[in-house]
Amino acid sequence: MTHPHPPETFGARLVETSLATERVRLMTFEREGGPFHFRAGQWVNFHFPLKDEKGHPLHRAYSIASAPGGTSRFELAITHVNAGPGSEFLHAMRPGEVLEARGPQGTFLRPLDAPAPALFVATGTGLAPFRAMVHDAIAAGRKERLWVLFGVRTPQDVLWEAELRALEKAHPFFRLEVTLSRPPPDWGGRRGHVQEHVRALWAELAALEPAPDAWICGVKKMLLEVRDVLRKELGLPRARVHAESYG
Ligand SMILES: Cc1cc2nc3c(=O)[nH]c(=O)nc-3n(C[C@H](O)[C@H](O)[C@H](O)COP(=O)(O)OP(=O)(O)OC[C@H]3O[C@@H](n4cnc5c(N)ncnc54)[C@H](O)[C@@H]3O)c2cc1C
């Protein structure tokens, strides 16, 4: 397995940006000065020209949503948090503007030499590292089952839906299961939170695959509840449950 690249500080120039949902902005940056080497699952830390509540420079972490491609570009998905200084700064950025970044960082990494099949559980922009991992696995020619359980409020909140549905058609080992916490009356899919669906989906995957891993990413409350189901109820060992908390 290749080792993660050491983090470095660089200028991240915003190349393009669009609103994917009411609250989530997709943002493509490029690293000034050359290619950005990272691994799927890693994140960058932005150093904002702002101070936090203690008067220290404001830093915030963002998972890279694109797979490594040897270029200077990387994509992020940013949830707008009301009165949140970091996310509001990012949502207000215009193409051409540059922000100081430090990365790549993090150890939320699937080994590429012998990765286990995976159940990825995400809410909101917690999907970002899993999008990177799925594209990375496909680019590496992997065929183990990769299933995503993705929780959002409404059908309009599903990120990268057309892209992920196309991947499902092209690669039967990939599956996207969406659950909505505020479904419209005519919604025929899963309802409620990811916590309510993880048992059944895990059982289905574990019946097909010898030893899948579970991966969880998103806000802390969801992450802890899903982890409790997997570890305490279903008895998965610690080493097979990977989690990245957005706080
Ligand atoms: C390793 C790591 C990776 C991260 N990756 C992403 C990412 O890819 N996209 C992203 O939008 N955020 C991500 N975050 C969260 C991000 O770092 C900030 O916490 C977030 O942007 C809020 O910062 P703020 O200054 O706007 O608001 P603050 O005033 O700092 O608000 C903090 C509040 O926002 C909540 N919050 C944080 N992130 C989210 C979120 N994504 N959705 C809903 N509520 C949230 C926290 O629970 C907390 O209550 C990541 C965090 C970590 C530690």
Q: Where are the domains positioned within the chain?
A: 8-105, 118-245
Is any ligand 1 atom within 6 A of the Cβ of residue 157?
no
Confidence (pTM): 0.97
Q: How far is the CA of 113 from the centre of ligand 1 (A)?
A: 31
* CA 220/CA 203 separation, integer angstroms: 24
Q: Match domain 118-245 to its CATH number in 3.40.50.80, 3.90.1150.10, 3.40.50.1820, 1.10.10.10.
A: 3.40.50.80
44 Cβ contact list (under 8 Å, min separation 6): 12, 38, 61, 62, 64, 74, 76, 101, 102, 103, 104, 105
Strand, helix or coil for residue 64: coil
pLDDT, residue 165, reads 98
Whole-number pLDDT of residue 2: 55
CA–centroid distance, residue 139 to ligand 1 (Å): 29
Can you give the pLDDT at residue 1? Answer: 46
**For 82-100, what is the mean pLDDT?**
98
Whether 62 is in the pocket of ligand 1, judged by its Cβ within 6 Å, is yes
- How far, in Å, is the centroid of ligand 1 from the Cα of 62? 8
Burial of 79 (0-12, 13-18, 19+ CB in 10 A): buried
Is any ligand 1 atom within 6 A of the Cβ of residue 219? yes
Indicate if 118-245 has the same CATH topology as 8-105: no
Residue 3 has pLDDT above 90, yes or no: no
User: Is the CB of residue 212 below 6 angstroms from any atom belonging to ligand 1?
Assistant: no
Q: Which residue has the higher pLDDT, 60 or 211?
A: 60
Digit-coded pLDDT (tens) for 93-149: 999 999 999 999 999 999 867 789 999 999 999 999 999 999 999 999 999 999 999
Q: How remote is the CA of residue 247 from the centroid of ligand 1, in Å?
A: 6
SS3 per-residue string spanning 79-118: ECCCCCHHHHHHHHCCCCCEEEEEEEECCCCCCCCCCCCE
Is ligand 1 within 6 A of the CB of residue 84? yes
Question: Checking DSSP bridges between strand 73-79 and strand 213-218, what pairing results, if any?
Answer: unpaired
Q: Could you tell me the distance, in angstroms and rounded to a whole number, from the CA of residue 114 to the centre of ligand 1?
A: 31
- Ligand 1 atom 21 nearest Cα: 87
Closest ligand 1 atom to Cα of 220 = 47
What CATH number labels 8-105?
2.40.30.10
Query: Is any ligand 1 atom within 6 A of the Cβ of residue 243?
Result: no
For 203, the token pair is 């059982």
**Averaged pLDDT score across all residues of the chain:** 96
Q: Whose CA is nearest to atom 46 of ligand 1?
A: 247
pLDDT (average), residues 20-38: 97
Distance 246 CA to ligand 1 centre (A): 5
Query: What does the pLDDT read at residue 12?
Result: 98
In this prediction, residues 164-185 reach a mean pLDDT of 98
Q: Is 61 in the pocket of ligand 1 (CB under 6 A)?
A: yes
Q: Is 79 in the pocket of ligand 1 (CB under 6 A)?
A: yes
Higher pLDDT, 130 or 3: 130
